[in-house]
Chains A and B, each alone.
Chain A
Amino acid sequence: MGAEQAIMTEGLAKRFGAVQALAGVDLAVSTGEVLGLLGPNGAGKTTLVRILATLLRPDQGRAQVCGLDVVRQPAAVRRLVGLSGQYAAVDAFLTGRENLRMIGRLAGLPRGAARRRADELLETFELADAADRVARTYSGGMRRRLDVAASLVTRPAVVVLDEPTTGLDPRGRIGLWQLLGELAAGGTSLLLTTQYLEEADRLAGQLVVLDQGRVIASGTSAALKARVGGDRLELQTLPGHDPAPLAAALAGLGAGPPVVDGALGRVVVPVADGPAVLPEVATRLAASGLRVADLTLRRPTLDDVFLALTGQPTGQDAPPDAGHQDQGGAVPAA
């Protein structure tokens, strides 16, 4: 136990009325490590982030940041943790510079230091040109960058980010990934939540998959990918056609059984090496005489991860789509 762990949680549980947001979560993030917390909406990611940022108290279990207990030593924890919440929490009527100076002053920096730190972060986050415009005029990506910059004003040892790239365009997303990568390279410990496997894969050395308040898988990105399989081959039948014969024609080709979605007329096959199996796919399709409307090769999504880990698609907390269920839903074919 101790200072070498940036974040540690043990049996963390939190309930809101009838909803068990966290049901006993154990986590460990070593100093300088990046942990990706992957899960669908309602998995408990935000609750966990808020407990670590001292905004919520857990019902059970404990959480420590750099060896300090978030419930018993919240003031000390706040000096170590930077929070970038689910919303870009910046004052829309202050300029970028005013926002960062305000955070610096509130975090206890003297006036001059707060000013210098704001200038430095505006430069780093490519906001220097917009520094004296009110944040209301910023694009979504700029607001998000300002928000992440605000969480770094005190150079926190640990930064928790709740879905930091939500709402960003691809370019903005890649830019933020780069900044977070540099932050981690500089020794800051990061915990970031995401719904995107690609994002977790890109940034995090360690992944934890959360579902309905429980950890359902954890390990390195490579280990998780090995369990999930490499790429996904997705075939779409012609409108009104049964996808089952397609699945049968491709049997044995993938790294796992084909998944048939009758409602969407879709077959998804996990494949270890996508480009390598394409010739065989073409051969089998030609031999079977089956026609497809669309054929794509893609990286696995969170849905694929959940299907591979639990045999269930994500969104179990959402009301089930009755029509979808009636027609078989997405179930792994034997």
Chain B
Amino acid sequence: MSASTIAERPIAAAPAGRLAGLVSDTATITGRNLYRLVRVPTLIAFATVQPVLFVLLFTYTYSGAIHPPGVDRYIDYILPGIFVLAIAFGASQTGVAIADDLANGMLDRFRALPMAPSAVLAGRAVADAVRNLFVLALMIGVGAAIGFRFHAGPAAALGAVGLAVAVGLALSWVNALLGLLVRDAESAGLAGLLGVIPLLFASSTFVPVATMPGWLQAFAKVNPVTITVDALRALCLGGPTATHVWQALAWIAALLAVAVPTTVARYRHTTAT
């Protein structure tokens, strides 16, 4: 150890352009989260075991009881719903991670660095999107092995994957905000799940809305999860898609428009206790 290694200066940290800085910082944080994804046991489980379990369990337990009109096999009906279920559950880990970073001083460290403030959150969301692509591929693979097929062609299939990833982006930001507000990792994870579970079940995810009691139908029809799942289903199974997809995209855009600035503003004023 010599004094010169720790004390000579300056390292010219040339301030890059704002956009270039944001892109570079987001890429760095994305890399950090992807490393964690393959090293943190709970994250590995959320990305691999859980989606596969969902596909197998929901398909085999419900397929005998539920026969939605217009589809031959229940798995063709349920898989688009499981996309949203798995992505929503996975997104709860983003709240956990942000609350953890806050509690152990990582966010303080990032905030004290000359970096783009939104990059810590954007990098997390991008890493989540990468994870979701993997999760979707896994579910489609497992689903195909037990009978699932896309019925509307490859372009629509890609559209379904893209829409599912977009849903994940919105949920990542919402959960990041939850993590910053709740501050405690376990509570943030719980809040993330409790928030989506009623929305997931009171929707067209598992059963057709028409089979629900009237008062619940009224809610389920306007539930954004129903709108999103219906759009995914249309892209997977065929039939009229445009209206469903536009409505789903409008919901996602609205959620992002509120969650992104709110979360970044909150991040800039949050310190560890």
Contact = CB atoms under 8 A, between A and B. Distances in A.
A109 B11 contact: yes
Given A55-B108, A93-B39, A150-B109, A75 B32 contact: no
B106 interface: yes
Contact of B1 (A50, A90, A103, A182): A182
Nearest to B39: A93
Interface in B11-32: 11, 13-16, 21, 24-25, 28-29, 31-32
Interface in A45-84: 50, 53-56, 75, 78-79, 81, 83
Interface string A80-118: 010101111111011000100011011111000100010
Interface stretch (B110-118, B175-183, B212-220): B110-118
> Of B9, B11, B272, which is in contact with the most chain A CB atoms at under 10 Å from its CB?
B11
Interface in B54-99: none
Contacts of B13: 79, 107-109, 154
A157 B150 CA distance: 60
Counting contact residues on chain A (CB < 8 A from B), the size range is 35 or more
Interface string A118-150: 001101111000000010000000000000001
B35 A108 contact: no
Contacts of B21: 108
A323 interface: no
Contacts of A98: 32, 35
Interface in A36-52: 50
B113 A103 contact: yes
Interface in A137-184: 150, 152, 154-155, 157, 178-179, 182-183
B4 interface: yes
A187 interface: yes
A186 interface: yes
B28 A108 contact: no
Contacts of A125: 1
B3 A94 contact: no
Interface string B127-168: 000000000000000000000000000000000000000000
A91 B35 CA distance: 11
A143 to B, nearest CB: 11
B7 A89 contact: no
Nearest to B43: A93
Nearest to A181: B3
B112 A53 contact: yes
A117 B13 CA distance: 12
Given A105-B28, A106-B113, A134-B39, A124 B8 contact: no
A22 to B, nearest CB: 14
A87 B106 CA distance: 9
B112 A55 contact: yes
B193 to A, nearest CB: 22
A124 B114 contact: no
Contacts of A188: 7, 9
B50 interface: no
Contact of A102 (B2, B32, B108): B32
B6 interface: yes
Contact of B32 (A88, A91, A150, A178): A91
B7 A78 contact: no
B1 A155 contact: no
Nearest to B111: A55
A89 B35 contact: no
A117 B112 contact: no
Contacts of A91: 32, 36, 106
A185 interface: yes
B6 A154 contact: no
A270 to B, nearest CB: 37
B7 A106 contact: no
B10 interface: yes
B105 A86 contact: yes
Contact of B106 (A78, A89, A109, A113): A89
B108 A83 contact: yes
Contacts of B25: 105-106
Given A85-B105, A108-B21, A182 B9 contact: no
A79 B114 contact: yes
Given A93-B40, A107-B115, A108-B15, A56 B271 contact: yes
Given A50-B271, A55-B111, A155 B28 contact: no
B112 A81 contact: yes
B104 interface: yes
B211 interface: no
Interface string A179-207: 10011011110000000000000000000
B272 to A, nearest CB: 7
Interface of B: 1-11, 13-16, 21, 24-25, 28-29, 31-32, 35-36, 39-40, 104-106, 108-115, 119, 271-272
6 contacts: A79-B13, A81-B112, A83-B112, A85-B105, A106-B110, A109-B13
Interface of A: 50, 53-56, 75, 78-79, 81, 83, 85-91, 93-94, 98, 102-103, 105-109, 113, 117, 120-121, 123-126, 134, 150, 152, 154-155, 157, 178-179, 182-183, 185-188
Given A78-B114, A108-B16, A183-B3, 9 more contacts: A88-B105, A90-B106, A91-B36, A91-B106, A103-B109, A108-B21, A124-B1, A155-B11, A182-B6
